[in-house]
Structure formats: C-alpha cells, structure tokens
Chains A and B, each alone.
Chain A
Amino acid sequence: MGEKLLMKGSEAIAEAAIRAGAMAFFGYPITPQNETPEYFSRRMPELGRVFLQAESEVAAINMVYGAACTGTRAITTSSSPGISLMQEGFSYIANTNVPCVVVNAMRGGPGLGDIAPAQADYFQATKGGGHGDYHSIVIAPHTVQEEADLMFDAFELADKYRIMVVVLVDGLLGQMMEPVEFKDWVDVKKFKTPEWATVGQGDRAQRNILISFDILAEGLEKMNLVLQNKYAKIRENEVRFEEYKMDDADYAITAFGTVARIAKTTIELARNEGIKVGLIRPITLYPFPEKVIENRASNVKFFFDTEMNEGQMLEDVKLAVNGKKPVYFHGRLGGIVPTAEEILDEFKKHLGG
C-alpha cells in the first residue's frame, strides 16, 4: 500500500485498474462515468498502454473481446444504456471463455432514463443480460476504497476463470471523493501470452481457435456444460459478503453498493433507539451469498431488503430465505437515492408484525 490520496470514485477505478495491470481500454463516452475514460486517456499513453475511443459501445466491447482473445488484460467502462448495447458482446465473451473487466456506473432507466444513480441493472448484470445460459462474476463495492481494492480482484478473477467480471457501481460512487490507498502495482513485465491466446500460431504445435459457436447441438451442449461447471466452481469458491452488526441482530437489512452504505447509517439510528438490526451486504452479487442469508434466517425475525430499484436483489434474498422468515422491501426508482431516515421509517413499519 502507498500514500493516501483524495480521489473521485470514477478516477480511482481507472487508477486501480491501471495498477492492476489493465493493458488496454476501449470505450465510448456516456454520463455519469466520463471521468473514467478521460482518466484512462491521459494515463494509458504515459505507460505505453492502449487507450482507444470506439465509435460505439457495440464496437468498444468487441474491441475488448478481440484484445481478450490475445490474453491481454482489457477493460471497458460505461453506464446503463451503453451496457445494454454491449450485451451481445458479453454473451459472445462468456461462451468464448476469455477474461475481461467491465464497469457499469448504473443510472436511472429504463430507456434513456436519467443520469442519476440507480441500481436497476441488477437483473441484467447477475442473470446474464445477453442471450444464452451464462453468468458474469458481478462485484459491488460501496466505498471508493473498496472500488480501488476490488479492481485488482476483478482482473485476478477474470484471468483465473477466463470470465468477464462486472464491477457494478452507480453515479454516486463514481462522483464522490474519499481517501483511497492503492494496492501495490502489478508487475506487467511478468505477463505472458497464455497458451490459448489467438496471436498467430508461431511455434505452437497446434493453432488456437476461440469461438462461441458449434453448429451441432451435441457440441454446443458440451460447451454449455463447460460454462456451468465453471459457474459451479465460482459459486463454491468466490462468494464474498460483509456482515455488519449481525452478531446480536434481531433483524437483517440486505442491501448492496450505495444503498448498503446508507443502510449502515440507518443501523446506527435504529440502534440508538434500541432496535438491534444488522446488515448483510453482498459484495459478489454473482455468486450470490445465499448461504449466509439462509443461515441468518434462523436468528432474525425478518429481513428488510432495500435497493434503488423495484426489488431486484430482493428475489435472490427471498430464494435464500426460502420462506423461513418474512422479507420486506423498500425501493426508490428513477435515480432517487433514499435517506437513512427514510429507510428507518420504512423498516419500522414492519416491527409490529
């Protein structure tokens, strides 16, 4: 770790990605995350790395796909409408088993929506988003420091599983400034072209073919099973979550990202009133920390899920609770950020029950 810097989240993401060994950035401007590509555009040439502004998000993700097929650490960043345009590419990347990192600074939707912070892309990010049976690893930081830390993990996980990793944030986490301390630089001189990369056959005995295609259903089913086996390993090994004041909790709030951060204040307010409530904060949204929620179902009286959407993670919480306890919900839509007091008021409505 080095010195402590005061940085905007959207710039800390870029700096962390660079220190984590991102060798290429391809992207297209979209609010509220333009500081991220702008930062890359300054820093990448200084380091002899690639920055390229693509003609569209569609092109950007396919440039990432091409770079990923050479085994190079590549990244794109965008926001909700741009991420929608990339879904075709995500699906191809999934079935080609190549690694890359994508940051989605979510904004209000649907459609053109607005440019305010939102969490309404949870389904799209965690359930696949494009066509076919696939998942990406989805991680959701809730502070600038965590954004910086998780960028390193994002690239490591992407390479480890040859999978796309989505870092799911929102405009608020991008715009806020907080102190941040970066992990040590990854030594990119140690990067080697992987055996599977398509860079020309060279001295290899065999050529490499990286495709998401098998015209025969039997072959395509096998490709799908490779993916499903990979997802099973990821669900087994890569679940991450934070439990906050859950040890003596009678009630559990579930929330991720920006709302989890606000919920921590709600918990302080509630505890000042003598209400023992804690927070279960999924850090990986896929794989979802279902076991911890399932286990806590025997300790708490109810769960209270709160998100900046109409109840998307709520479905995964309910699946994990599996009917053992009530699961209540409060959400705000269209880019409205709830206050800690508002969440507390909504939570307290269920205490009588």
Chain B
Amino acid sequence: MKTIYKVPSAITSRDTTYCPGCTHGVAHRIVAELLDEMGLTKKTVIVWPVGCSVFGYYFIWTDALIAAHGRACAMATGIKRVHPESFVMTYQGDGDLASIGIAETVHAAARGENITTVFINNGNYGMTGGQMSPTTLIGQVTTTSPYGRKPELNGFPLHVPEMLATMDGPAYIARGALDNPQHINQAKKFIQKAFTAQQKRLGYSLVELVSTCPTNWKMTPVESIERVKREVLPIFPLGEFRAVKGVE
C-alpha cells in the first residue's frame, strides 16, 4: 500500500488552540512537513513569539524558546552566532514582527543573519482581541480603529517583504498565502527555499504568509478565506521579492 497522507513527525498529537478557520494550523503543518522532508527537525530551534502562536511549541516538536514580544530575531541571532550548526527559525505575527519587533527584524535582515522567519500576517493583533496592527488595511475596522483605519490618523499598511527586498543582507524574501491549495503549495515552496537559504548560509530569509483571523474579523471561516482573496491579496501581492544566487 502506498502512503498518501501521514502526520509529519514534527507535529505533536495535541489539539491546537487556534480558532476554527484560522490558518496557523496550515502554516504549522507546512513548516513541520518541511522540517521532516529536509531532515531538519532534530537540529532545529524555533523561537516562538508573543501572540496566538505563543503556544506553537505545543504543536511542533522541536527545541523551543519564547521570545519577548518582538525580540525573536535578536534571540535567534544570539543562538545562531554561537551555535551556527543549529537550524534556527522564528515564527512571528504582524504585531510582533512588523510593529514592536520591526527594528530587530530589519537589522537581522541587514546583517544577513542565517536565520529564517515565518511571518504570519492576519492584519490584526489576534490574541489580545483584534486591535489594529501595522498591516491592518485602510478602512478595516478593528477594536482600536472602530471607525476603520484612516491614513491621516494611522498611516498606511506596512509591506515587510517589499521593504526587506531593498536590502543587501537578505538571501530570500517572499510572500505566500494560505487561502487555497494552490497558494498553500506555493507557500510551502517559498518556505522550502527560505530554509535552503539558511542551510547554505546565504543570509536572512523571510516568508510572509497572508493569513486569516475569523474570530476577530467577525467572519465565518469561509467568509475569511473570501476576504483574503477579495480585499487582502490586492494590497499584499504574492510572489518572490528577493532570491540570491544559490537559493532553490
């Protein structure tokens, strides 16, 4: 009999703490598949963030740390510099990475740290109850932008991959989405390239994953997926923004 489906060894048996329709589970799954497929699970340290995925270590079985809010790339830098043979990954949301941790992210990228970041962008602070984040769309209603995000008051959404792609330090920068099987396969390919960049010591790698937050968006899972396609992807287009020679 041919196995066509199995749980990656890097996925634990625990039920996730994520809401129905949240794409963290899909992101975890493709990360875990790649850790297995690329033989990385036993040499990996994941630096988890503050946010909904603070519990990520419940679900992906590797050595694990939880950074202070926004500090994951600094912590990962500390590990990688003294232990270059470890595979070091941060998993961060948009509040964590793009707001409070933007300095640590930009400078890790500028230094070309050999670490990989999986960046979950769901356009709000999920765990704290759906406040506005740097990637909240113009007009989007959140608990701290009750009249919708207004440029004159809150500025504009931050495009992290586009910004990092202007720098010389990063080896690989891409944005994927998790709203349909085709996009999920593409996102997995992007993360595989990001992991390869680290394995080959080519520099910093980051993959943004456009994600859903049905609970705080006050939508059903299906409506959330439709919103990603209709409203989010036109603002946050998918693709590879930087790939140095050797990334494949």
Q: Contacts A198-B45, A200-B86 known; A24 to B81 CB distance under 8 Å? A: yes
Name which residue of chain A comes closest to B113, CB basis.
Answer: A52
B78 to A26, Cβ gap below 8 A?
yes
A63 to B78, Cβ gap below 8 A?
yes
Rounded to whole angstroms, the CA-CA distance of A55 and B104 in the bound complex is 8
Q: Contacts A198-B45, A198-B65 known; A66 to B103 CB distance under 8 Å? A: no
Q: Contacts A50-B82, A55-B103, A66-B75 known; A211 to B63 CB distance under 8 Å? A: no
Q: Which of A29-37, A67-75, A148-156, A165-173 contacts B (4 or more CB under 8 A)?
A: A67-75
B82 to A200, Cβ gap below 8 A?
no
Is residue A92 contacting chain B, with contact meaning CB distance below 8 A?
yes
Q: Contacts A62-B104, A72-B83 known; A209 to B57 CB distance under 8 Å? A: yes
A200 to B44, Cβ gap below 8 A?
yes
Which residues, 43 to 62 on A, are CB-close (under 8 Å) to B?
50, 52, 54-56, 58-60, 62
A200 to B81, Cβ gap below 8 A?
no
A62 to B79, Cβ gap below 8 A?
no
Name which residue of chain A comes closest to B63, CB basis.
Answer: A198
Q: A54-B107, A213-B66 are in contact. List 16 more A-B contacts (CB 8 A).
A: A56-B103, A58-B71, A59-B71, A59-B104, A62-B104, A66-B65, A66-B75, A66-B76, A66-B78, A70-B86, A198-B79, A199-B85, A201-B41, A201-B62, A208-B63, A210-B65
B107 to A59, Cβ gap below 8 A?
yes
Q: How near does chain B come to A18, taking the closest CB pair, in angstroms?
A: 15
Which residues, 114 to 133 on B, are CB-close (under 8 Å) to A?
none
Rounded to whole angstroms, the CA-CA distance of A92 and B69 in the bound complex is 11
Name which residue of chain A comes closest to B61, CB basis.
Answer: A207
Rounded to whole angstroms, the CA-CA distance of A285 and B247 in the bound complex is 53
Contact indicator per residue, chain A 274-307, by CB within 8 Å of chain B (1) or not (0): 0000000000000000000000000000000000
By a CB distance below 8 angstroms, the chain A residues around B68 are 62, 88-89, 92
Is residue A64 contacting chain B, with contact meaning CB distance below 8 A?
yes
A211 to B43, Cβ gap below 8 A?
no
B67 to A62, Cβ gap below 8 A?
yes
Is residue B177 contacting chain A, with contact meaning CB distance below 8 A?
no
Is residue A231 contacting chain B, with contact meaning CB distance below 8 A?
no
Number of interface residues of A (CB under 8 A): 38
A211 to B65, Cβ gap below 8 A?
yes
By a CB distance below 8 angstroms, the chain B residues around A56 are 103
Number of interface residues of B (CB under 8 A): 34
Is residue B87 contacting chain A, with contact meaning CB distance below 8 A?
yes
B64 to A66, Cβ gap below 8 A?
no
Q: How near does chain B come to A222, taking the closest CB pair, in angstroms?
A: 17
Is residue B191 contacting chain A, with contact meaning CB distance below 8 A?
no
A201 to B74, Cβ gap below 8 A?
no
Which residues, 161 to 196 on B, are CB-close (under 8 Å) to A?
none
By a CB distance below 8 angstroms, the chain B residues around A210 are 64-65
B63 to A201, Cβ gap below 8 A?
yes
Is residue A182 contacting chain B, with contact meaning CB distance below 8 A?
no
A199 to B103, Cβ gap below 8 A?
no
Instruction: Say which residue of B43, B54, B81, B104 sits within 8 Å of A67 (CB atoms).
Output: B81
12 of the cross-chain contacts (CB-CB < 8 Å) are A62-B67, A62-B104, A63-B78, A66-B76, A66-B78, A70-B82, A198-B79, A201-B42, A201-B43, A207-B62, A207-B63, A211-B66
